[in-house]
Structure 1
Amino acid sequence: MKDDILNQIKASYQVTTNENTKDDPFALVVDGKALEIALTNDIKDDFLQLTVNCASVICCRVSPKQKALITRLVKKYTGKMTLAIGDGANDVGMIQEADIGIGISVLEQDVSSDICLQFPALYQQGQKGIFFSWKRIIGWMGNGILTSLVISILNVYILSPLAFRKGGQVVDIAHLGVTTYTTIVWTVNCQIALIITHFTWIQHIFIWGSIFSWYIFLLFYGALPPVYSNREYKLLVEAVGPAPMYWIVVLLVVVISLLPYFIYMVIQRSFYPMDDHVIQEMKYGRKVVVDDETWLREKQSSRKATHIGFSARVDAKILYLKDQLHKKRMFIIKSITNSPIRRSITTR
């Protein structure tokens, strides 16, 4: 397979460099599977040599990683400035690899068209590494540690001293373990639900389906003979399920665990909104806040020339001057080579 692709690349390259077809425009079409082979170390140089000889190259059915990789290789191989335009999350890597990255997004017609001015500001968040900064990573780690401590401490503190069921029955390790893990399942999925700003039916299935599948697992696992299920034998049906304390603890612990992030989210959106928060408010709240202070700040931010754009313009000018200098050098060499004096000296 690899040899066949290499032979095709070499044959196509010969066609593009042939004197009879040298001035004809060629287009190259390659799919994701062929691109995966073409970008291997022993073929990629030949492949890139062919691509630069083509007027256009169409890559179809490629992965986000391949999009970013081809952008990086073309930039490195040609030494020229690259522009990447994408309209989805799978284009983020490609946009970040390019010298100039442009993201396209379309909102509903009934929202003010001035909203389009916000998109440059939105993509500055990715360029500045706001979403993947150490501050944000450490914040999520701290949120995870805090949540785990709240879940474990509250479950032990509430369940240990109290009767779990009527008749004075107290919890054992199986009751405590199932209750704790149930609160973990609920907390994790509810945390995801809080982060998501646009729900689809797939997200609903996976988030709420994950919680539902946990109870299905408890039901079927508890139905196995005690030799297999051990302490969990009919645990949901006969032990934790009928106990009101189980459901009260799950509800209480999940609410308290989510409370710190919920408070943080409310404060941030109310007093320190980011660019995407403003857009979401306008999109889902159907608000046109052109006179709002936050809107004016973001509007100015979207029009501000970024450092990346400035550096790109400088690089473009340098590349242009280098290209002009190279053309003049080649013209001089060609003129000297073809001059009558040079030919006479060579003849003698």
Structure 2
Amino acid sequence: MKECNVALVIDGQTLKYALSCDLKQEFLELCLVCRVVICCRVSPMQKAEIVECVTQATGAVTLAIGDGANDVAMIQKSHVGVGISGVEGLQAACASDYSIAQFRYLKRLLLVHGAWNYSRITKLILYSFYKNVCLYVIELWFAIYSGWSGQILFERWTIGLYNVMFTALPPFALGLFDKVCSAETMLKYPQLYKPSQDAKLFNVKVFWVWILNALSHSVWLFWLPMLMTRESVWSDGKTSDYLFLGNIVYTYVVVTVCLKAGLITNSWTWMTHASIWGSIAMWFVFMVIYSNFWPTIMLAPIFLGMDRMVFSTIVFWLGLLLIPITTLLPDILLTIVHNTVFKSLTEAVRESEIRRYDPENVIRESKTSLSETARLLRSVFTRRANTRVETELELSHGYAFSQEEGGAVPQSVVIRAYDTNLPKPEGN
């Protein structure tokens, strides 16, 4: 429904009739085409009913903000409630999702923290699914390869510590420290909030793209090491076993998953570096210590000497350099193409910040390109409209009694010709 540059002002007494069963749908349609709707002198239940009607009719995410007890019902009906703690008490603040001291803080709450947290939470969710699918689907490939023998590829404690230790820090870094752009830029250019409203970063399509990406990575991370060590015979005459293959695959998975977190990071901080490189180093340190537990500590006898077996193999180090890069190469190429050819406004502004350019130029170029596109579309539709009008003028209409049939001046132009800015006459 097209929005018009019109405001609607309605009081509580009139709103009671507008929200009746007979007029509710027409009233909602009228509200949706207005640029702003102001409801004054309304009761708390009417506030809540308005929010509920808009939510049910449009399916949009609603935000309600209030500072008193009469706003509690409205805040609770909305998806996001913001309470202002002030002279009218703390009832609204206690019933809301977020509490601010003054109304002017709403701008920073939405444009800065709202956009940041939307980007962070989407990456956190998608990355968590990705890293788990990437590891545990490998057990499926190994089950197929081993003829459904029931043997697992990885040692049990390493499986349990995957989400607890070795890949736990990158999600924290993405969810706490990642920033789309600086706070000053987000406040200065509200256009950067648009992706959050359009849900471009998290939807069904994006989710399944991440799942398919994780499945493809699991294929590479299992079958490439399998082909590398399939018929290997070492210098001492020994051959590899399933646990040797499992530790090599596990190492490549940890490295690839951590590097994937770096690939989707917008802002690199010391915490980001520590989470990515520290997680990789943590696995190597754990492997050295865990391989020497037994018999001092009666734990994991099958893991004894595994560090020396793996680290003394040139195939392992060669694969450590090639396999994670090979696995992530399509992601790197797609990121390069996206940031070069299909660059969004947010990415362009972030790039200008990194290069210490003025983001104003990027915003201006974006507006120019949009204006040029709008101008071209307007010219096309204007030509079509003129053709349609010429065709209609050739036809005979029997219903236009208010003006001459086939007249050149539409009735709407005649109505707009009256001056509506004249002062209203006062009665005696």
What TM-score bracket applies, with the shorter chain setting the length? 0.5 to 0.7
Establish whether residue 204 from structure 1 lines up as the match of residue 273 from structure 2: yes
Q: 1:168 to 1:290 in 2, by over 3 A?
A: farther
Alpha-carbon distance between aligned partners in 2 of 1:286 and 1:255, rounded to the nearest angstrom: 30
Equivalence for 1:112:
none
- In structure 2, the residue matched to 1:281 is 351
Residue 299 of structure 2 aligns with which residue? 228
- Cα distance change, pair 298–144 in 1 and its aligned pair in 2 (3 A): farther
Which residue of 2 is the match for residue 245 of structure 1?
A: 315
Unaligned 5+ residue runs, structure 1?
1-43, 72-81, 94-102, 108-114, 305-348
The answer as to 2:310 corresponding to 1:262 is no
Post-superposition offset of 1:243: 1.3
Q: Find the counterpart in structure 2 of residue 98 from structure 1.
A: none
The one-letter amino acid of 1:66's match is D
Of 203, 212, 227, 1:157 maps to 227
- Provide the alpha-carbon RMSD of the alignment: 3.9
1:270 aligned partner, one-letter code: T
Question: Alpha carbons of 1:225 and 1:46: their partners in 2 closer, same or farther (altered >3 Å)?
Answer: farther
How many Å apart are 1:66 and its aligned residue? 3.0
After TM superposition, give the deviation of residue 284 of structure 1 in Å.
Answer: 0.7
In 2: Cα distance, 1:148 partner to 1:48 partner? 49
Report deviation, 1:104: 8.4
Moved over 3 A (4+): 44-49, 51-59, 82-85, 89-93, 287-292, 298-302
Higher helix share: 1
Structure 2: gaps spanning 5 or more residues: 1-67, 74-82, 119-180, 374-428
Q: In the TM superposition, what are the counterparts of 1:1-348 in structure 2 within 5 Å? A: 48=72, 54-55=86-87, 66-67=97-98, 85-86=108-109, 87-88=112-113, 92=117, 105-107=183-185, 119-163=189-233, 165-225=234-294, 227-236=298-307, 238-288=308-358, 296-297=365-366
Q: CA deviation at 1:58?
A: 7.8
Partners in 1 of 2:84 and 2:254 — Cα distance? 52
User: 1:221 Cα shift?
Assistant: 0.8
Give the C-alpha shift of residue 121 in structure 1: 2.4
Cα distance in 1 between the residues matched to 2:313 and 2:246: 15
Looking at structure 2, the residues matched to 125 and 269 of structure 1 have their Cα atoms a distance apart, in angstroms, of 16
Q: Which has the higher contact order (CA 8 A, sep 6+)?
A: 1
Q: After superposition, what is the alpha-carbon deviation per residue over 1:141-184, rounded to whole angstroms, capped at 9, x for unaligned?
A: 11111111111111111210333x32443211111000000000
Count of residues in Structure 1 that have an aligned counterpart in Structure 2:
225
Match of 1:319 in 2: none
1:124–1:291 Cα change, 3 Å: closer
Measure, in 1, the Cα distance between the counterparts of 2:195 and 2:306: 49
> Shift of the alpha carbon at 1:279?
1.0
In structure 2, C-alpha distance between the alignment counterparts of 1:126 and 1:222, rounded to whole Å? 47
1:296-332 alpha-carbon deviations (Å, 9 max, x no partner): 2256669x9xxxxxxxxxxxxxxxxxxxxxxxxxxxx
CA distance in 1 between counterparts of 2:357 and 2:85 reads: 50
Report the Cα offset of residue 197 of structure 1.
1.9
For residues 84 and 249 of structure 1, do their structure 2 counterparts lie closer, same or farther at Cα, with a shift above 3 Å needed? same
- The Cα shift of 1:199 comes to 1.3
8 Å CA contact 2:349, 2:359 repeated in 1: no
> What is the DSSP-based 3-state SS (H/G/I as helix, E as strand, rest coil) of the residue aligned with 1:88?
helix
Does the 8 Å contact 1:85/1:104 carry over to 2?
no
Distance 1:178 1:296, change over 3 A: same
% same residue = 20
> Whole-Å Cα distance in 2 between the matches of residues 232 and 288 of structure 1?
56
* Distance in 2, Cα, partners of 1:171 & 1:242: 13
1:231-259 Cα deviation digits (max 9, x unpaired): 210211x2111111111112211011111
- The answer (yes or no) to whether the contact 1:222–1:234 under 8 Å persists in 2 is yes
Question: Residues 77-131 of structure 1, C-alpha deviation per residue, up to 9 Å, x if partnerless?
Answer: xxxxx965423358757xxxxxxxxx98215xxxxxxx976x3221110000001
Which one-letter code corresponds to 1:283 in the other structure? E
